[in-house]
């Protein structure tokens, strides 16, 4: 029952993190095995999905550490990050984003997500692919709400910048 209920959100999360279907399926299986193995440690006062995604997130952190990814650690604070983001005002130049068809834009976003630093990618995927609330994400990561909001904001703006870069 647990697997059927959460297989799609877990696969969507891991799939967007690794971008390889077979690897995503293997990792998702491993996450569910870890969930079953740790069921005794689950406390009902916490939301089950929060607990499950904490396990999934830790699994991904272990994976990146084993791979010794030279980019930012998934839990590292991005450069210049503060709880209160700097004032961001709209660009005065028109964006190319609106010139793309929706299908084309989806493909570009899919590729651009892979270029986001891990700490931003994970939160962006949770917020805009899995549809988590900022509060849920803050609980899963054990981070202040302001930090989570700021990172998601940075992810979105970086994504927009990546989409505007000439391919």
Partner 1 sequence: MICLKLERLYAYLEGDLAGRDKKAVEDHVASCPACREALEVRRVLLQAAETLPAFEVPGDFARAVMDRIAPERSKAKTSGWLMAAAAGAATFAVAFVATTLITGHTLSQLVLGLNRFLWSNLQGLTSVLTKGAKYVILTVKTLIQIAGEVLQILNTLTSFIGPETQIVFIGATVLLVLGGGFLWSRRFSTERNHEE
Residue numbers at the binding site for partner 1 (CB under 8 A): 3-4, 7-8, 11-12, 15-16, 21, 24-25, 28-29, 32-33, 36, 85, 87-92, 94-95, 97-98, 102, 105-106, 109-110, 124, 128-129, 131, 149, 153, 156-157, 159-160, 163
Please state the closest distance from residue 46 (CB atom) to partner 1, in A: 22
Q: Which is nearer to partner 1, 73 or 114 (CB)?
A: 114
Q: How far is the CB of 59 from partner 1 (least distance, A)?
A: 14
CB closer to partner 1 out of 45 and 88:
88
Q: Is the Cβ of residue 70 or residue 80 nearer to partner 1 in the bound state? A: 80
Shortest spacing between CB 6 and partner 1, in angstroms: 10
Total residues belonging to the chain: 167
Residues 6 or more apart whose Cβ sits within 8 Å of residue 163: 96, 97, 100, 105, 108, 109, 112
- Give the Cα separation of 77 and 151 in Å (integer): 9
Q: How far is the CB of 109 from partner 1 (least distance, A)?
A: 5
Q: Which two tokens stand for residue 70?
A: 């030279």
C-beta of 36 vs 46, nearer to partner 1: 36
């Amino acid at each position: 029952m647990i697997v059927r209920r959460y297989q799609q959100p877990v696969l969507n999360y891991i799939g967007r993190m690794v971008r390889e279907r077979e690897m995503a399926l293997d990792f998702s299986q491993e996450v569910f095995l870890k969930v079953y193995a740790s069921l005794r440690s689950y406390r009902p006062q916490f939301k089950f999905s929060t607990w499950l995604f904490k396990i999934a997130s830790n699994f991904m952190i272990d994976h990146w550490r084993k791979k010794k990814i030279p980019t930012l650690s998934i839990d590292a604070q991005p450069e210049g990050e503060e709880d209160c983001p700097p004032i961001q005002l709209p660009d005065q130049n028109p964006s190319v984003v609106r010139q793309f068809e929706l299908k084309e834009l989806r493909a570009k976003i899919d590729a651009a997500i892979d270029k986001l630093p891990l700490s931003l990618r994970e939160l962006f995927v949770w917020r805009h692919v899995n549809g988590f609330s900022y509060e849920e994400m803050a609980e899963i990561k054990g981070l202040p709400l302001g930090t989570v909001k700021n990172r998601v904001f940075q992810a979105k703006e970086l994504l927009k910048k990546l989409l505007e870069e000439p391919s």
